[in-house]
């Protein structure tokens, strides 16, 4: 993605955040922009917030939205004072061991933003109609996002979840629907698990990985621009996902040693699984593609671009491809034990 997309994230990571002394009583009549320092349960909606919703001000506390909604005014804050956080529904900068659960956030620049934290838990949350991210996790580790929904974060910049400069996260059992750009965008982050999530009708990609050493397992992607795209990124594992509809199923465009195994791809408009790009000429290196099944791809079931290097395609099946079952343009690609059935053109076409 363009470097400009990282500017709001980098700016947030530089912020000091708002602090308050621990041990205070829960605030009475909580209002937009308040900082909490003890366990807090909302007793009503907070609506029309002009900047922040709630700011986390202490370690090891729980914010229970209690089924309520925190909503912004839908307008970006144009002038945010230096060293402050602005326009975030629930904001946590550098507070570890925090849980946020059970409610909705909408209408901010970022719905739920956690920056420079360890071991946070975000559970049963819905974040929607935010300009940049439904959820943002940046500069963080050991954090869990579970049983939550990032949806309807609009074009031109809206993503369901952005993960930047973070490691050892667990993104499990969530839904990302109808976001303007991306369901989950992972950049400069490693050791993260993306498992058992649903990605439906996201404009550009269901999952976009620009990072090394992550696992994308057992997810369900339906009618996204591309189901799962990696590049640049190395040593990522894309395994056991189900992808249907949309432009392409899985694409590994640039990186080394990525693994694509046991995925099921059906009814894409273009290729089912693609390695590299023809124009501009870009390729991955040493990609393993094994035990995948592609059915009714609109074009090639499996496509390997000319500049891709040393790919191994083994024990894959392409059925009823709109063009070739396997279209192999790279001289270094190896094919072992693959099957093509009912292709409109060739079963296997090699350069």
Most confident stretch, 14-28, 69-83, 172-186 = 172-186
The pLDDT-based confidence of 17 (bands split at 50, 70, 90) is: very low
User: Across 129-246, where does the E strand assignment appear?
Assistant: 133-138, 144-146, 149-151, 159-164, 170-172, 175-177, 182-187, 193-195, 198-200, 205-210, 215-217, 220-222, 226-230, 237-239, 242-244
The pLDDT-based confidence of 18 (bands split at 50, 70, 90) is: very low
Asked whether residue 8 carries a pLDDT value surpassing 60, the answer given is: no
Domains in the chain, CATH or no CATH each: 31-211 (2.160.20.10), 225-351 (no CATH)
Model pLDDT, residue 163? 98
The pLDDT-based confidence of 281 (bands split at 50, 70, 90) is: very high
Angle (CA) 211 261 349, round 5°: 105
Model pLDDT, residue 79? 87
* Bridge partners (DSSP) listed for residue 222: 200, 244
Asked whether residue 12 carries a pLDDT value surpassing 60, the answer given is: no
State phi, psi for 11 to the nearest 5 degrees. -60, -40
Asked whether residue 72 carries a pLDDT value surpassing 80, the answer given is: yes
**Other C-beta atoms lying within 10 Å of the C-beta of residue 243:** 28
C-alpha 161/C-alpha 294 separation (Å) is 28
Between 73-77, 215-219, 284-288, 305-309, the lowest mean confidence (pLDDT) is in: 73-77
Closest CA to 140 of 107, 112, 175, 182: 112
Model pLDDT, residue 178? 98
Model pLDDT, residue 9? 55
Q: What is the three-class DSSP state of 82?
A: coil
pTM listed for this prediction: 0.93
Model pLDDT, residue 351? 82
pLDDT over 70 for what percent of the chain? 92
Model pLDDT, residue 6? 53
For the chain, give the mean pLDDT. Answer: 93
Instruction: Specify whether the CB–CB gap between 229 and 210 falls below 8 A.
Output: no
Model pLDDT, residue 214? 98
> What's the pLDDT tens digit per position in 252-272?
999 999 999 999 999 999 999
> What's the rounded mean pLDDT across residues 267-280?
96
Asked whether residue 309 carries a pLDDT value surpassing 50, the answer given is: yes
């Amino acid at each position: 993605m363009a470097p400009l997309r990282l500017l709001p994230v980098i700016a947030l990571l530089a912020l000091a955040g708002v602090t308050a002394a621990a041990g205070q009583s829960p605030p009475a009549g909580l209002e937009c922009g308040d900082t909490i320092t003890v366990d807090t349960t909302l007793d009503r909606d907070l609506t029309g917030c002009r900047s922040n919703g709630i700011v986390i001000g202490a370690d090891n506390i729980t914010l229970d939205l209690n089924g309520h909604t925190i909503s912004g005014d839908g307008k970006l804050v144009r002038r945010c004072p230096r060293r402050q956080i602005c326009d975030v529904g629930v904001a946590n900068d550098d507070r570890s061991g925090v849980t946020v659960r059970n409610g909705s956030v909408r209408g901010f620049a970022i719905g739920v933003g956690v920056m420079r934290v360890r071991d946070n838990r975000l559970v049963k949350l819905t974040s929607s109609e935010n300009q940049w991210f439904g959820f943002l996790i940046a500069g963080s580790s050991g954090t869990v996002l579970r049983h939550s929904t990032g949806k309807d974060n609009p074009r031109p910049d809206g993503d369901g979840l952005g993960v930047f400069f973070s490691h050892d996260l667990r993104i499990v059992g969530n839904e990302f629907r109808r976001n303007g750009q991306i369901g989950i965008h992972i950049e400069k982050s490693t050791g993260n698990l993306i498992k058992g999530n649903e990605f439906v009708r996201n404009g550009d990609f269901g999952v976009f990985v620009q990072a090394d050493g992550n696992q994308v397992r057992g997810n369900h992607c339906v009618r996204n621009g591309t189901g799962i795209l990696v590049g640049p990124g190395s040593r990522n594992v894309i395994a056991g996902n189900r992808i249907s509809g949309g432009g392409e199923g899985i694409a590994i465009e640039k990186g080394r040693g990525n693994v694509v195994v046991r995925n099921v791809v059906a009814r894409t408009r273009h290729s089912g699984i693609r390695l590299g790009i023809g124009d501009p000429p870009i390729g991955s290196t040493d990609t393993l593609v094994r035990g995948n099944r592609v059915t009714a791809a609109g074009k090639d079931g499996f496509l390997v671009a000319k500049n891709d290097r040393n790919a191994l395609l083994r024990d894959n099946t392409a059925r009823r491809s709109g063009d070739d079952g396997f279209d192999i343009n790279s001289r270094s690609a190896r094919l072992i034990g693959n099957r093509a059935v009912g292709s409109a053109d060739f079963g296997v076409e090699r350069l």
